[in-house]
């Protein structure tokens, strides 16, 4: 998996470093495209609706 691209994408979505580290660990077995499908905006304004 291209960890640099995934890290950059997570930062663009507003993930803090701690959450990025956790996400990377949880998805280390997946390829980039599969991991990318699991990303959601970190603070989704519609999540509480």
Specify if 28 maps to a domain: yes
Question: Cα separation of 28 and 14, whole Å?
Answer: 20
Total residues found in the chain within this entry: 49
Question: Cα separation of 31 and 37, whole Å?
Answer: 10
Counting the structural domains of the chain, the total is: 1
pLDDT at 42: 74
Question: Cα separation of 13 and 15, whole Å?
Answer: 6
Specify if 11 maps to a domain: yes
Specify if 43 maps to a domain: no
Specify if 24 maps to a domain: yes
Specify if 13 maps to a domain: yes
Specify if 22 maps to a domain: yes
Whether the CA torsion 10, 11, 13, 19 is positive or negative: it is positive
pLDDT at 40: 79
**Residue 17 belongs to domain spanning:** 3-37
Specify if 49 maps to a domain: no
Specify if 46 maps to a domain: no
pTM over 0.85: no
Per-residue pLDDT tens over the stretch 1-49: 688 999 999 999 899 999 999 999 999 999 999 998 888 777 765 555 5
């Amino acid at each position: 998996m291209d960890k640099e691209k995934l890290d950059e994408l997570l930062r663009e979505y507003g993930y803090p470093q701690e959450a990025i580290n956790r996400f990377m660990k949880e998805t280390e077995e997946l390829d980039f495209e599969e991991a990318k499908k699991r990303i959601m905006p970190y603070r989704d304004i519609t999540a509480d609706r």
